[in-house]
Amino acid sequence: MLSSIVIPQTANAPSASTQVQLSGNLDSTSPVITGAINPTNPATYSSSMSVQVYDSLGNAHTLTFFFQNAGKGTAPAAENWNWTATLDGSTTGLGGNTGTIGFDANGNIVSGATPTASLTATPAGAQPLSLSLNFSALTQYAAAAAVTGSADGSAVGRPQGVQVDNTGLVSVSYSNGKVVNVAKVAIATFAALQGLQLTNGGVYQQTIASGAPTITTAGAGSAGSIQSGALESSNVDTTQQLVSLVVLQRSYEANAKALQTSDNMLQDLMQLQTTAA
């Protein structure tokens, strides 16, 4: 059904984070540390990193991981690393925020192990967070620690722009990174395009000769595609036409002068004949 395209101006709803993926390297040459990890004491952990997550209200929270080289592990793990997580600098209300990761002698996650964990949190005023943590992309090589993280979820989104692709699909992009499809531009084709009647403003109107329109989408059948943000230009070479106009003007001026000269000569001849008579 055809209708006017309405671009929403309202905010895009937030979505709570559910997945956290960590990747990168933990330095195998870092000293072994004993004792529990204390996030407030750098001497109790080897490295740390943070990733941003969102609650059900769209509030951003900083989830920080602290990694500790715990030394040799039990086979098949050649070496173990302990980890602890905090949310906004606190462990209050967190569940499942500690664990151990085992690496083999090649610096990879122990084969057959499940490098995942579940962390729960209770942000104030929002629904409880339940995060699935994935450590499978971590390695333990003799190189500087460099761990990065990514998480799903998003804050409240404000409309930032409208895009139209070559198929006529209209989408709205939001400040939270989401893109929402809102409509599709309809294309009308006619059996006899030459039968359309040109009206004011370069608009064509249906006539009996053109036949009834067939409503379709861009690129379907005989319908053309859409080029967003562009105006159709004339197929006339303006420069060439201006040159031709100047040439015609010069020719007109030359012909006008020739006619004037001929007229003057005829007048002189008539005067000579009158004098002779």
CATH code, domain carrying 83: 2.60.98.20
Does 116 lie in the same domain as 70? Answer: yes
Q: What residues make up the domain containing 195?
A: 160-217
Question: 114 vs 127, 206, 248, CA distance in Å?
Answer: 27, 67, 85
Co-location of 30 and 147 in the same domain: yes
Structural domain total, the chain: 2
Tokens of 61: 């929270």
Query: What pLDDT score does 100 carry?
Result: 93
Q: Strand pairing partners for 19?
A: 132
- Indicate whether 205 and 125 sit together in one domain: no
Average pLDDT of the chain is 90
Which of 120, 151, 182 is the endpoint of a domain?
A: 151
Q: List 95's β-bridge partners, or say none.
A: 120
239 in any annotated domain? no
3-state helix, strand, coil in the chain (%, to 5): 15, 40, 45
63 domain-assigned: yes
Q: Which stretches of the chain score pLDDT less than 50?
A: none
End-of-domain residue from the set 151, 175, 198 = 151
Cβ–Cβ under 8 Å, residues 30 and 46: yes
Instruction: Tell me what pLDDT residue 112 has.
Output: 62
pLDDT on residue 242: 86
Same domain, 48 and 171: no
The residue from 130, 151, 172 where one domain ends is: 151
pLDDT of 202: 77
Q: Which helix (H) or strand (E) holds 258?
A: helix 238-276
Bridge-based pairing state of the strands 129-139 and 19-25: parallel
Residue 91 lies in a domain: yes
Beta bridge partners of 116: 134
Q: Report whether 196 contacts 189 (CB < 8 A).
A: no
Same-domain check for residues 164 and 146: no
pLDDT value of residue 180 = 94
Kindly state whether residue 229 falls inside one of the protein's structural domains: no
The pLDDT, as a whole number, for residue 113 is 67
Q: Is 272 helix (H, G, I), strand (E, B) or coil?
A: helix
121 SS3 class: strand
Q: Is residue 257 part of a domain?
A: no
| Same domain, yes or no: 24 and 147 | yes
